[in-house]
Amino acid sequence: MALKITVIGTGYLGATHAAAMAELGFEVMGLDIDPAKIEMLERGETPMFEPGLEQLLRAHVAGIEGASGRLRFTTSWEELADFGDVHFLCVNTPQKHGEYACDMSYVESAVESLAPLLRRPALVVGKSTVPVGSAARLARRVAELAPAGEDVELAWNPEFLREGFAVQDTLHPDRIVIGVDGGRAEEVLREVYARPVAEGSPFVVADFPTAELVKTSANSFLATKISFINAMAEVCEAAGGDVVKLAEAIGHDERIGKKFLRAGIGFGGGCLPKDIRAFMARAGELGADQALTFLREVDSINMRRRGHMVELTREAVGGSFLGTRVAVLGATFKPDSDDVRDSPALNVAGQIHLQGAQVTVYDPKGMANAARVFPTLGYADTALEAVRGADVVLHLTEWREFRELDPAALAEVVSTPRILDGRNALDPDVWRKAGWTYRALGRPQA
């Protein structure tokens, strides 16, 4: 009999995982404690913008015409526990308020709700990003609570998907990592992931702590790479060098690689910033804090970028923001997402606004979320409207739409054709030819 799969938590990780499991041919049931989210998903709508996800849902959600019907949603733990052979935990683990550590309350409450209802053999698989040591502790808790006793096992299977590419990354992962502690867990997960493995995804089997650490160390490495190139941008600015050229040149060395070397206003989002902080906090608890002190520097280089962007903008408008108009292109933490969690773009826009400028923001998908976080900023419906009358334009999220803007048309409506590229993603020649003063982080001024 084919395995029946459940997915607990339907944020971008869970919603994508549930749809992808249905696409792989499994019967799937998704649960969320938020009934509004469940109602949306049952209509085949996603609570967030993620390219291709709505299409995938509509292909599988039961009740939608023409769908496979393999994907259902519920808010009932009883129904979920009766249904599933494999239960994926996909709830979020945000940063604790006022602390670096990770807030495990959603993971814990999911386990406390599910485990006492597990009356038949089942595998609970954690996908959330958790501090090392959590899987072993949760395995003991599941064993204590589950009526089926030893027939219920736990595994950890970290997720590496990127927002904006979530569907692709879930269906065709560049690796599958599982942490197991004996039993049938490996066999069951090999069955779940048979198709991607047959298509070539490497399948790495590890113990619990290693699997947990793979996730946090991967995100720490990525954050370090970005802060490394941003540190080089600072040096380039001091020395008159060009960080874009530098990144291109060092990237030719295959050991370094070209990816994740784009200097700019730094990393944000719901993962990298909180993951490196939670990692430092956990290392401290383990007595290994010295090993990760470099991450403090990675974090502070990153946060400095936002302040630096504010200063460059202040300089561009003549030393004071009072009475100036600043246009901001981009609000999300990265393109092809509507996520504004810890968004560098919105942080810069907010700081400038709080210092007295009139700030108008435009983003292709992030407007509603941005307005919720920063209701006092101005918002425009198009890039052209956002820049109307602006003394300076800031390019802060590298949407394709912004690369395709016509600088000549924008130049006609701004007060001063001056642009600061916080993402090093626009073509300086094109903008300069259209009469703009173009400046970017880590590059010489023309």
Taking the C-alpha atoms of residue 91 and residue 272, their distance in angstroms, rounded to an integer, is: 17
Residue partners of 269: CB distance under 8 A and separation at least 6: 163, 333, 334, 339, 341, 342, 343
> Which of 222, 276, 317, 357 forms a contact with ligand UGA (CB under 6 A)?
222
Q: State the binding string over 122-151 for ligand UGA (x if CB under 6 A, else -).
A: -------x----------------------
What residues from 49 to 78 belong to the interface with ligand UGA (CB under 6 A)? Answer: none
> Which of 268, 330, 366, 442 forms a contact with ligand UGA (CB under 6 A)?
268
396 binds ligand UGA per the rule CB under 6 A: no
DSSP 372-428: HH-TTSEE-SSHHHHHTT-SEEEE-S--HHHHT--HHHHHHHSSS-EEEETTS-S-H
Question: What amino acid is encoded at 204 in this protein?
Answer: V
> Which of 20, 81, 188, 271 forms a contact with ligand UGA (CB under 6 A)?
271
The length of the chain is 446
Q: How many residues touch ligand UGA (CB under 6 A)?
A: 21
C-beta closer to ligand UGA: residue 136 or 218: 218
432 binds ligand UGA per the rule CB under 6 A: no
163 binds ligand UGA per the rule CB under 6 A: yes
Task: Say whether 271 is catalytic.
Answer: yes
What residues from 309 to 368 belong to the interface with ligand UGA (CB under 6 A)? Answer: 333-334
> Which of 208, 267, 279, 374 forms a contact with ligand UGA (CB under 6 A)?
267
Taking the C-alpha atoms of residue 321 and residue 314, their distance in angstroms, rounded to an integer, is: 6
Taking the C-alpha atoms of residue 136 and residue 208, their distance in angstroms, rounded to an integer, is: 7
Taking the C-alpha atoms of residue 288 and residue 202, their distance in angstroms, rounded to an integer, is: 30
What residues from 247 to 266 belong to the interface with ligand UGA (CB under 6 A)? Answer: 260-262, 264, 266
269 binds ligand UGA per the rule CB under 6 A: yes
Q: Which of the following is catalytic: 90, 102, 236, 271?
A: 271
> Which is nearest to 350 in space by CA: 235, 268, 277, 443?
268
Could you tell me if 268 and 309 are in contact, meaning their C-beta atoms sit under 8 angstroms apart?
Answer: no
369 binds ligand UGA per the rule CB under 6 A: no
C-beta closer to ligand UGA: residue 271 or 312: 271
276 binds ligand UGA per the rule CB under 6 A: no
* Phi-psi domain of 98 (left: phi exceeds 0; alpha: psi -120 through 50; beta: other): left
Residues that bind ligand UGA (CB under 6 A): 129, 159-163, 219, 222, 226, 260-262, 264, 266-269, 271-272, 333-334
Active site residues: 271
